[in-house]
Structure 1
Amino acid sequence: MLLKYFGFFLLCVLGFVAAADRGSYTVPGLGKRKQEILNNGGGVWDIAIAMLENDHLSTDYPYGDNKSGDSANFGIFKQNWFMLRTSTSQFKGQPASNSNNGAVLNKDLKADIKARHDSQNFYGTDKWFAGHRNGQSGLSNPYTQDITNYKNGVNWIESQLSSDKKYLSDDTRFWVYVVPI
């Protein structure tokens, strides 16, 4: 009998922990930003990726996300320079030393969305997630637990956004805790 109670307790604790790593809250003005993304060529998955990266789907984070060279991040998706320079029509072929060129994505939403789409089309979904999360090393080892956790987080947010069309225009932000890198 004690084992039965322990099993129930463990199930409750695990359920609580699983539920505690994701959720939603309201961010004033977020619905307008979601619509801007959709009106500039983005889709639900784009909103989900940006939503995992920051609260306001914006570029108001430290320049390069406090990173430089191939690791520097730009735009609402925080796309790293390595992925941008190896897979997008706007930056392909540029050296790591030209990472400052990626800053244009912080101010041009349409170009940011196009670059993300170019990169995913070039690498395919799994490799895109891997390279987006961990750059060149991610491309070499695309199925680590960290990359899987990131992908699962984006997919969960996308499923919430897709569950009701109101989530594409209201101020609800869905979140999943993924270890920051």
Structure 2
Amino acid sequence: MKRQIIGVMSALAALVGLALNSAPTASADTAPNGYAYCANGSSSDPDGDGWGWENNQSCVVRGSSADTGGAGSSACPSSMSCGSYTVSGLGSRKSQVRSAGGNSLDLAVAMLETDNMGTNYPYGDNKTGDAANFGIFKQNWLMLRSACSQFSGQSTSQYNNGAALNSNLSQDVSCLHQSQNHYGIGTWFAGHRNGSSGLSNPNTTDINNYKTAIYWIQSQINNNSANLSNDTRFWVQVPPI
């Protein structure tokens, strides 16, 4: 009987050992910062910053500079000031954006622009022509008329038509996604930050800092699902242009 018990225990130990050795770890599919690794590797990251774009969401290129725990923590991006505070009613606005088709990256873009993710800023963001900005994301008219079907074929002088996005959240989100798909996420960041100059020179320090700020805010939102619908606003100090 003693031999039988020992035999059974040995068999169980072997099975447990096999299960432990074969069980996948979270790091096999997910980077330390909580984002999924890019299935297509560096081909998903045309600008080479370590962040890719697959299935309408950010991903991390394995072994890149983004493959660390930093973006998933509360620590500020290097050499930047950041933080969070409560804005009454912001949670409701977040939910409205998500109901209109927005994702956490969209929330981050809007959150960096205004404290209430709204459009109560000076008309056109005090700009005209292709530089005029509209909607909660402050999309510039050049990219709107170039990438959003709603404004396709319109001229620089027709920039006032972009004001339609100030009161239509669904159109605003739709145009943002069309623009991101049209340019690719890396080039989109550059053009969104610095218009035509950014599109022609997308790897400036300022553009890369802007991108880092947006990704940091997105990481804070993704770190806790409550941040998708609460009144917390995350911010990073980025000079206006």
Taking structure 1 as the reference length, what is the TM-score of the superposition? 0.89
Taking structure 2 as the reference length, what is the TM-score of the superposition? 0.67
Give the deviation of 1:93 after TM superposition: 1.6
Does 1:90 find its partner at 2:166? no
Number of residues paired by the alignment? 167
Does 1:54 find its partner at 2:114? yes
Which has a greater percent of helix? 1
Task: State the Cα RMSD in Å.
Answer: 1.6
**Cross-structure match for 1:5:** none
1:143-166 per-position Cα deviation (integer Å, ceiling 9, x unaligned): 100110111000000000000000
Q: Distance in 1 between matches of 2:94 and 2:107?
A: 7
Does 1:108 find its partner at 2:168? yes
Unaligned runs of 5+ in 1: 1-14
Q: Secondary structure at the match of 2:84?
A: strand
Q: Distance in 2 between matches of 1:175 and 1:131?
A: 21
Q: Distance in 2 between matches of 1:16 and 1:177?
A: 10
Does 1:158 find its partner at 2:218? yes
Picking from 60, 70, 73, the partner of 2:130 is 70
Unaligned runs of 5+ in 2: 1-74
Q: Distance in 1 between matches of 2:76 and 2:235?
A: 16
The amino acid that maps onto 1:135 is G
**Cross-structure match for 1:29:** 89
Q: Secondary structure at the match of 1:175?
A: strand
Give the deviation of 1:137 after TM superposition: 1.1
Picking from 195, 213, 217, the partner of 1:135 is 195
Q: Secondary structure at the match of 2:220?
A: helix
Call closer, same or farther: CA 1:127–1:20 in 2, change over 3 Å: closer
Give the deviation of 1:19 after TM superposition: 7.6
Give the deviation of 1:20 after TM superposition: 6.4
Query: Percentage identity across aligned positions?
Result: 58
1:97-139 per-position Cα deviation (integer Å, ceiling 9, x unaligned): 0000000000000000000000000000011011111111111
**Cross-structure match for 1:8:** none
